[in-house]
C-alpha cells in the first residue's frame, strides 16, 4: 500500500485505534501492540502496551514471539491479529480464543479457503518456540504452525460469527472501498442532565466512534461528559470504536451523591 | 499589633457540656492541632480520641458526641455552611462522622466555639441551649415522641427563631442503631449519631451566637468567594442543580452498578420509574438549597397526598432498587417516613433488603416481607420505628441482625464494619469496592468517593488493581480535606487543581501559609487518625473486608463481560492500600 496501515484514517480515527479498541472488547487481559523499532503510531488508549521488534524487517513471526512472551505471565492464550482489520468483531475474537482448549496450541480460523494465522488464538507457551524459530532465521509464522498442534476452525465452528473479521486491507483500492461503507448503526442514550429538554430516550445514529455518536446528538465528550458502550467501561476517548448494534450511554461525568 | 490568639476562622476552643447537670467547661485547642486537623471530621476525630474513654459504650453516658464546625463556616464561601457530628458509632463500634448543613452550622460557630461536645446523660428528656458561653437545659417532655422536624419547629416557636436546632426523631429516642440527627430537613445520617444523642436523653441541641468569624484576609476571602460562586454555577454542578443526585439512578443502572434486591443483581428493571429524568417531569415540585449554597442540589418531589419529599440517589437505591420496589409513591413515602422517624435511609433500606432475602431463603418467618412490595417496605419501617414485630431485630442494623439470625445470613448482609453499603455495586466498581472495604466509617460513599475512579475511564472498573488503590486513596484524601475545612463535596468538580486551590482558600481564611503538599499530608493524617481511633477500639484486619457475597458470586454487565471480585484480588488491593498508607501488612501503623 506504500504507507503504514496503522495510521490510516478511519472515520475520524485510525485503523490501528479501531483494531485495538475492538480487540480489547474481545479479550479479558492486556492488549499489546508490536511495532517496527521506533515506528510512529497513532494515539492509543490507556492500558495498551507498545513493544518494539528488536530487529526491523524480520517478518511477523518475530512480533508474534515478542507479543506472546509479553503476556505469557498474565494469560494462557492470546489472540493475535494484524492492524488492518476494520471489521474485526469482538465476538469473533472471543469464540476463537475460547476454542483453544487442552490438546492444541493454536486455534486457527479457516475462512474463504484460507487459514488465517493473523486472526488466530495462540497458547502463550509458544513464545519460546517462536523465539527459537526467529533465531533460526524464520520470518513467517508457517514453521510455528507446522510444529504446533493446530486446531482448524471450520465453518461449523465459526457459525454465527461475522466472518468479515478476517477481511484485511492489502491495497489502496480495498481500503478505499471499505472506508466508503457507511458507519454502523448504533443506539445513543442520554442520561441525567444530558437528557434534559426532552432529550431522554434512545436515538439510532450512524457512527464509527463514540465521539461521532455523541456529536450526532449534539454532545462532545469532555471533562463533563462520559460515554459507556454496552454498559461497559466509561470513557472520554472519542476514538473508541463502535459496531453495528452497539448502545452508547452518554453520562454526566460527575456521578457523586 | 499583637498576634491573634488563634488562626483566622477559628475560636481556638471547644465547649464541653455535661448534660447530666448542664455544667460546662472550655477546652482550648492549640493552633497546631487546628492546623493538623482543620475542623469538621478531622477535628472531630481528634476530639473523640482525646475525650472518649477507651472502650466506651457508644450509648454510655461517658461517650462524647461532638458537633464540630470548620474554619470556612461563617465566611461567604459557597457551600461552607456545614457541620460534622462525630462519635463512636453504636452501629459499628468505631468512629462515625456525618455531615449536615445549613443555619445550625453558622449559629453553632457563632457561639464562639470550634466544637460543642456533649457528654453525660440528662435526668429527663431535655433540650440543651447554647448561647455564646451560656448553657442551660430545659425539660423537653412534650417533645419526646415527636419527629425531629416538629421538635425543631417547636423549640424555635417557643424560644425564638434566632435559635437553630439539631434534633432527633423517635428512632433516636429508642436507640435505633442508625438513627440520625436532623436540622432543617438535612440529616447527619450515618452510623447512629441520633441514638447517641437519644442515649443522653437529649431531644435537641439549640444554638445561637453573637460572635463574628474573622478571616485573616477578609478582602481575599471575599474575592475568592465571588469567584467560587461563579464557578459553582457552571457545568460542573449542573447535575446537582438540574436533577440532584437522583440523576445518578438511571446512569448507574445502565452501567450495572445499581444495587438491586440486596445486591443479587446490579440492574433494576423498575429503575425507569424512579429516575430523576421521569420523576422530575411528573412529580418535581421545587428546589431548595442549604444556607450559603449556590448549587441548590435538593429536589423535592410530590408524594402521596401532596406531601413534598426530598429525594436522593442513595434513598432511591436503598429503599427502591435494593428492596426491589419500583413504585415511586412507595419509595417517596418510605423516604419521608425515614426522615420523620429519624433513621438513615441507606441503613434502613439495606437492613430491610437483607431481611427480605432472609424471608426468601426461609431464615426469617415473615412471609409478608417480600422484594418488590412497597407496602411491606413501609410496614417494616414502621416496625423499626415503633419496636414491634421485626423492629427490634432490624433496628440493630444488618450485621447485628445477621449475627442473631445466623444460618449464613451474615454472608449477604450488605455491610462493612456494620455500616450498610451505599448505592454502588462493588463488583462492577472495584475501586469503590476497596474504598468501602477500608474506610474507617465502614461502607461509605462520602468518605470514599472511589466510584469517581471507576467511572473516570482511566481504569478498568471490573479489574481491580494498583490503579484502583491509587484512585481510592486520592478520593479518600480529598474527602478528608473537604469534610474538614468544610466545603460541600458537590463542589469538587469546579476545582481545576483542588489541592492548590484548597490550600489557597484555607490560607486566606486562616492566615497560614499552606501548600498543597502540606494539605495532602493533613489529609493522610486525618484518615489515619480515624483508623487509629478504630484500632484503639478493637479494629482488626478482617474489618477491612467485604461481605462474602461480593467475593463468591459474579455479575454480568451489558457488554457480556463478567464482573468478579475474588478474595485474592480484594486482598491484594487492601494490602496495596495499607502499604500506600504506610501501614504494616496487618493494616496497623
Q: Which three cell numbers mark A49?
A: 502496551
- How many whole angstroms separate alpha carbon B55 and alpha carbon B62? 10
CA distances, A243 to each of A191, A210, B144 (Å) = 21, 10, 63
Q: Report the relative pairing of strands B308-310 and A119-123 from DSSP bridges.
A: unpaired
Q: Where are the alpha helices (DSSP H) in B320-390?
A: 328-341, 345-360, 374-386
Largest CA distance in chain B: 75
User: Is A198 an 8 Å CB contact of chain B?
Assistant: no
Q: What is the pLDDT of residue A256?
A: 59
CA distance linking residue A247 with residue A249, whole number of Å: 6
**What per-residue confidence (pLDDT) applies to B524?**
98
Q: Among candidates B380, B280, B377, B273, which has minimal Cα distance to B327? A: B273
| Nearest-CB residue to A200 (from B277, B451, B454) | B277
Nearest to B236 among A47, A224, A236 (CB): A224
Q: Match 510455528 to its residue by C-alpha cell.
A: A144
**Residue A177 C-beta-side C-alpha neighbours within 13 Å:** 8
Burial class from Cβ neighbours inside 10 Å (0-12, 13-18, 19+) for residue B529 reads buried
Strand pairing class (A234-235; A114-115): unpaired
Burial class from Cβ neighbours inside 10 Å (0-12, 13-18, 19+) for residue B31 reads middle
Chain B segment 466-505 residues within 8 A of A by beta carbon are 489-490, 492-493
The rounded distance, in Å, linking the Cα atoms of B477 and B199 is 32
Q: How far B500 CA lies from chain A's nearest CA (Å)?
A: 19
Question: Do B458 and A28 make contact, defined as CB atoms within 8 angstroms?
Answer: no
Report helix angle B40-51 to B516-536, nearest 10: 40
Rounded Cα gap, residues A111 and A196, in angstroms: 48
Cell digits of residue B83: 457541620
Tell me the per-residue pLDDT of B468-482, one tens digit each, with 9 for 90 and over: 999 999 999 999 999
Measured between CB atoms, does A236 come within 8 Å of chain B?
Answer: yes
Dist CA A96 CA A101 (whole Å):
10
Instruction: Write the residue in A192, A224, A255 that is nearest to B455 by C-beta.
Output: A255
Give the three-class secondary structure for B343: strand
Tens-place pLDDT, residues A94-131: 999 999 998 999 999 999 999 999 999 999 999 999 99
Residue of B nearest to A223 (CA): B236
In the structure grid, which three cell numbers stand for residue B556, read together?
Answer: 454480568
Q: A224-253: per-residue pLDDT in tens?
A: 899 999 999 999 999 999 999 999 999 988
Residues 204-223 in A contacting B (C-alpha not used; CB under 8 Å): 223
Give the per-residue pLDDT at A257.
Answer: 59
Instruction: Say which of A232, A234, A254 has its CB closest to residue B239.
Output: A254
pLDDT-based confidence at residue A255 (cuts at 50, 70, 90): low
Q: Which of A25, A189, A193 is closest, CB to CB, to B247?
A: A193
pLDDT, position B159: 96
For an interface test with A, give the residue of B255, B479, B566 to mutate (most A CBs within 10 A).
Answer: B255
Buried b (16+ CB within 10 A) or exposed e, B423-447: bbbbbbbbbbbbbbbbbbbbbbbbb
Selection from B56, B344, B6, B328 nearest residue B190 by Cα? B344
Which residue, among B8, B101, B96, has the nearest Cα to B44 in the 3D structure?
A: B96
What Cα–Cα distance (Å) separates residue A44 from each residue in A239, B276, B535? 9, 36, 45
DSSP letter string, B102-155: SHHHHHHHTTT-SEEEEES--SSSEEEEEETTEEEEEE-TTTTTS-HHHHHHHH
B383 Cβ contact partners less than 8 Å away, ≥ 6 residues apart: B389, B390, B391, B394
Asked which of A40-49, B367-376, B384-393 is least confident by mean pLDDT, the reply is A40-49
Rounded to whole angstroms, the Cα distance separating A129 from A152 reads 20
**Nine-digit cell at A95?**
469464540
Interface check for B79 against chain A (CB to CB < 8 A): the answer is no
* Residue B582 pLDDT exceeds 50: yes
Tell me the C-alpha distance between B499 and A166, whole Å.
50
pLDDT at A28: 84
Q: What percent of chain B has pLDDT over 70?
A: 99
Would an 8 Å CB–CB cutoff place A47 in contact with chain B?
A: yes
- Contacts with B85 (C-beta within 8 Å, 6 or more apart), sequence order: B44, B65, B66, B67, B68, B97, B98, B99, B100, B166, B181, B188, B193
Return mean pLDDT, chain B. 96
Which of A192, A232, A235 is opposite residue B558, by nearest beta carbon? Answer: A232
In the predicted model, is pLDDT for residue B2 greater than 60?
no
Which CA distances in Å does A110 have to A27, A28, A158, A161? Answer: 21, 24, 9, 13
Determine the average pLDDT of the residues in B17-26: 97
**Alpha carbons B128 and A175: distance in angstroms, whole number:** 80
Cβ-Cβ pairs closer than 8 A, A with B, add up to 111
Strand order in the sheet with B284-288: B284-288, B298-302, B308-310
Integer Cα distance of B561 and A232 in angstroms: 8
Bridge partners for B15 per DSSP: B26, B116
Rg of the Cα atoms in chain B: 22
B241 by DSSP, 3-state: which? helix
Would you report the helix, strand and coil content of chain B in percent, each value rounded to 5? 45, 15, 40
Compute, in degrees rounded to 10, the torsion defined by CA atoms B498, B500, B505, B508.
180
pLDDT of residue B262: 98
A180 touches chain B (CB under 8 A): no
Contact B254 A189 (CB under 8 A): yes
> CB B541: neighbour CB atoms within 10 A?
15
Are residues B457 and A234, on separate chains, in Cβ contact within 8 Å? yes
The confidence band for B1, taking pLDDT boundaries of 50, 70 and 90, is: very low
Element at B23 (helix H, strand E): strand B23-28
Task: Give CA angle at A163 (A159, A167), nearest 5°.
Answer: 165
Distances (CA, A) of B155 to B37, B110, B141, B226: 33, 19, 12, 35
Q: How far is CA A220 from the centre of its chain?
A: 24
| Non-local CB neighbours of B50 within 8 Å, separated by 6+ positions | none
Q: What is the pLDDT of residue B114?
A: 98
Length reported for chain A: 257
**What is the β-pairing status of strands A202-206 and B415-416?**
unpaired
Buried b (16+ CB within 10 A) or exposed e, B320-345: bbbbbbbbbebbbbbbbbbbbbbbbb
Q: Which of B152-156, B288-292, B334-338, B523-527 has the lowest mean pLDDT?
A: B288-292
For B436, the 3-state DSSP assignment is: helix
ipTM for the assembly: 0.90
388-427 of B, contacting A, C-beta below 8 A: none
Taking each continuous run of H as one helix and of E as one strand, the counts in chain B are 24, 19
Bond prior to B237 in cis (omega within 30° of 0): no
The answer to whether B239 contacts A193, with C-beta atoms less than 8 Å apart, is yes
- Predicted TM-score (pTM) of the model is 0.94
Chain B (287-316) residues lying within 8 Å, Cβ to Cβ, of chain A: 297, 312-314
B511 by DSSP, 3-state: which?
coil
SS (H, E, C) chain A: CCCCHHHCEECCEEHHHHHHHHHHHHCCCCEEEEECCCCCCCCCCCCEEEEECCCCCCCHHHHHHHHHHHHCCCCCEEEEECCCCCCCCHHHHHHHHHHCCCCCCEEEEEECCEECCCEEEEEHHHHHHHHHHHHCCCCCCHHHHHHCCEEEECCCCCCCCCHHHHCCCCCHHHHHHHHHCCCCEEEEEECHHHHCCCCCCEEEEECCEHHHHHHHCCCCCECCEEEEECCCCEECCCCCECCCCCEEEEEECCCCC
Which residue in the block uniquely carries the three cell numbers 500500500?
A1
Cβ distance of A235 and B457 shorter than 8 Å: yes
Backbone torsions φ then ψ of B204, nearest 5 degrees: -155, 150
Percent of chain B with pLDDT over 90: 90
Sign of CA dihedral B374, B377, B381, B386: positive
In the 8-state DSSP scheme, what is residue B260? B
| pLDDT for B281 | 80
Pick the residue of B99, B236, B241, B254 with the most A CBs within 10 A to test the interface with A by mutation: B254
Which residues of chain A have a CB within 8 Å of the CB of B451? 255-256
Q: pLDDT of B295-350, one tens digit each?
A: 998 899 998 888 889 899 999 999 999 999 999 999 999 999 999 999 999 999 99
Is the model's pLDDT at B4 over the cut of 80? no
For residue B169, what pLDDT is reported?
Answer: 98
Amino acid at each position: 500500500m506504500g504507507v503504514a496501515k496503522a495510521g490510516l484514517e478511519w472515520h475520524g480515527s485510525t485503523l490501528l485505534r479501531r483494531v485495538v479498541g475492538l480487540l480489547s472488547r474481545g479479550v479479558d487481559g492486556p492488549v499489546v501492540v508490536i511495532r517496527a523499532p521506533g515506528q510512529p503510531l497513532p494515539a492509543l488508549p490507556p492500558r495498551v502496551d507498545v513493544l518494539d521488534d528488536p530487529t526491523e524487517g524480520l517478518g511477523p513471526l518475530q512480533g508474534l514471539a515478542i507479543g506472546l512472551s509479553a503476556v505469557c505471565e498474565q494469560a494462557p492464550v492470546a489472540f493475535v491479529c494484524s492492524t488492518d482489520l476494520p471489521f474485526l468483531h469482538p465476538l469473533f475474537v472471543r469464540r476463537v480464543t475460547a476454542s483453544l482448549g487442552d490438546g492444541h496450541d493454536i486455534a486457527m480460523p479457516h475462512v474463504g479457503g484460507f487459514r488465517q494465522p493473523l486472526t488466530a488464538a495462540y497458547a502463550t507457551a509458544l513464545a519460546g518456540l517462536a523465539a527459537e524459530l526467529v533465531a533460526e532465521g524464520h520470518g513467517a509464522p508457517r514453521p510455528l504452525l507446522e510444529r504446533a498442534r493446530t486446531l482448524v476452525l471450520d465453518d461449523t465452528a465459526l457459525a454465527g460469527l461475522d466472518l468479515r473479521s478476517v477481511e484485511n486491507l492489502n491495497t489502496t483500492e480495498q481500503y478505499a472501498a471499505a472506508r466508503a461503507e457507511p458507519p454502523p448503526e448504533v443506539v445513543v442514550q442520554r442520561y441525567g442532565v444530558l437528557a434534559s429538554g426532552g432529550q431522554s430516550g434512545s436515538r439510532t445514529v450512524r457512527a464509527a466512534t463514540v465521539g461521532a455518536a455523541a456529536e450526532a446528538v449534539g454532545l462532545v465528550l469532555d471533562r463533563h461528559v462520559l460515554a459507556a458502550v454496552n454498559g461497559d467501561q466509561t470513557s472520554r476517548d472519542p476514538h473508541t470504536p463502535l459496531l453495528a448494534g452497539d448502545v452508547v450511554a452518554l453520562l454526566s461525568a460527575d456521578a457523586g451523591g | 499589633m499583637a498576634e491573634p490568639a488563634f488562626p483566622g476562622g477559628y475560636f481556638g476552643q471547644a465547649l464541653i457540656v455535661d448534660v447530666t447537670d448542664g455544667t460546662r467547661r472550655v477546652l482550648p485547642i492549640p493552633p497546631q492541632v487546628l492546623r493538623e486537623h482543620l475542623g469538621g471530621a478531622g477535628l472531630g476525630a481528634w476530639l473523640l480520641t482525646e475525650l472518649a474513654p477507651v472502650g466506651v459504650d457508644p450509648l454510655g453516658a461517658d461517650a462524647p458526641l461532638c458537633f464540630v464546625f470548620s474554619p470556612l463556616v461563617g465566611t461567604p464561601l459557597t457551600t461552607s455552611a456545614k457541620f460534622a457530628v462525630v462519635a463512636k458509632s453504636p452501629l459499628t463500634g468505631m468512629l462515625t462522622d456525618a455531615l449536615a448543613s445549613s443555619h445550625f452550622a453558622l449559629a453553632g460557630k457563632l457561639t464562639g466555639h470550634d466544637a460543642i461536645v456533649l457528654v453525660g446523660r440528662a435526668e429527663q428528656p431535655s433540650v440543651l441551649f447554647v448561647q455564646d458561653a451560656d448553657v442551660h437545659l430545659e425539660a423537653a417532655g412534650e417533645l419526646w415522641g415527636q419527629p425531629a422536624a416538629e421538635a425543631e419547629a417547636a423549640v424555635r416557636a417557643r424560644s425564638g427563631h434566632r435559635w437553630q436546632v439539631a434534633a432527633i426523631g423517635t428512632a433516636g429516642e429508642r436507640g435505633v442503631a442508625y438513627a440520625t440527627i436532623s436540622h432543617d430537613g438535612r440529616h447527619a445520617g450515618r452510623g447512629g449519631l441520633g441514638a447517641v444523642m437519644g442515649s443522653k436523653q437529649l431531644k435537641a441541641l439549640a444554638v445561637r451566637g453573637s460572635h463574628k468569624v474573622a478571616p485573616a484576609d477578609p478582602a481575599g476571602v471575599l474575592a475568592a468567594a465571588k469567584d467560587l460562586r461563579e464557578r459553582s454555577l457552571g457545568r460542573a454542578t449542573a447535575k446537582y442543580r438540574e436533577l440532584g443526585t437522583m440523576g445518578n439512578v438511571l446512569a448507574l443502572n445502565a452501567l450495572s452498578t445499581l444495587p438491586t434486591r440486596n445486591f443479587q443483581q446490579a440492574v433494576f428493571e423498575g429503575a425507569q420509574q424512579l429516575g430523576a429524568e421521569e420523576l422530575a417531569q411528573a412529580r418535581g415540585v421545587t428546589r431548595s438549597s442549604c444556607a450559603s449554597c449556590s448549587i441548590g442540589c435538593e429536589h423535592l418531589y410530590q408524594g402521596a397526598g401532596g406531601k413534598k419529599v426530598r429525594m436522593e440517589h442513595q434513598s432511591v437505591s436503598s429503599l427502591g432498587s435494593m428492596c426491589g420496589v419500583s413504585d415511586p409513591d412507595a419509595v417517596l413515602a418510605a423516604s419521608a417516613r425515614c426522615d420523620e422517624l429519624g433513621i438513615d435511609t441507606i441503613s434502613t433500606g439495606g437492613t430491610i433488603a437483607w431481611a427480605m432475602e432472609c424471608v426468601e431463603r426461609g431464615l426469617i418467618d415473615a412471609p409478608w416481607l417480600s422484594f418488590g412490595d412497597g407496602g411491606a417496605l413501609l410496614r417494616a419501617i414502621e416496625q423499626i420505628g415503633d419496636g414491634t414485630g421485626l423492629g427490634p431485630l432490624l433496628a440493630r442494623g444488618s450485621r447485628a441482625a445477621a449475627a442473631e439470625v445466623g444460618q449464613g445470613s451474615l454472608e449477604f448482609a450488605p455491610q462493612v464494619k456494620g455500616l450498610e453499603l451505599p448505592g454502588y455495586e462493588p463488583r462492577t466498581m472495584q475501586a469503590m469496592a476497596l474504598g468501602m472495604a477500608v474506610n474507617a466509617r465502614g461502607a461509605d460513599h462520602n468518605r470514599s468517593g472511589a466510584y469517581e475512579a471507576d467511572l473516570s475511564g482511566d481504569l478498568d472498573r471490573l479489574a481491580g488493581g494498583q490503579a484502583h488503590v491509587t484512585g481510592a486513596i486520592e478520593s479518600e484524601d480529598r474527602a478528608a480535606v473537604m469534610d474538614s475545612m468544610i466545603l460541600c463535596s458537590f463542589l469538587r468538580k469546579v476545582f481545576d487543581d483542588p489541592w492548590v486551590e484548597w490550600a489557597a482558600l484555607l490560607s486566606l481564611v486562616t492566615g497560614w501559609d499552606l501548600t498543597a503538599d502540606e494539605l495532602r499530608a493533613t489529609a493522610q493524617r486525618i484518615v489515619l487518625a480515624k483508623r487509629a481511633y478504630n484500632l484503639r477500639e478493637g479494629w482488626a484486619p478482617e474489618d477491612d473486608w467485604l461481605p462474602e457475597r461480593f467475593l463468591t458470586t459474579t455479575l454480568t454487565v451489558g457488554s457480556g463481560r463478567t464482573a468478579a471480585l475474588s478474595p485474592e484480588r480484594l486482598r491484594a488491593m487492601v494490602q496495596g492500600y495499607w502499604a500506600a498508607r504506610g501501614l504494616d501488612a496487618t493494616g496497623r501503623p
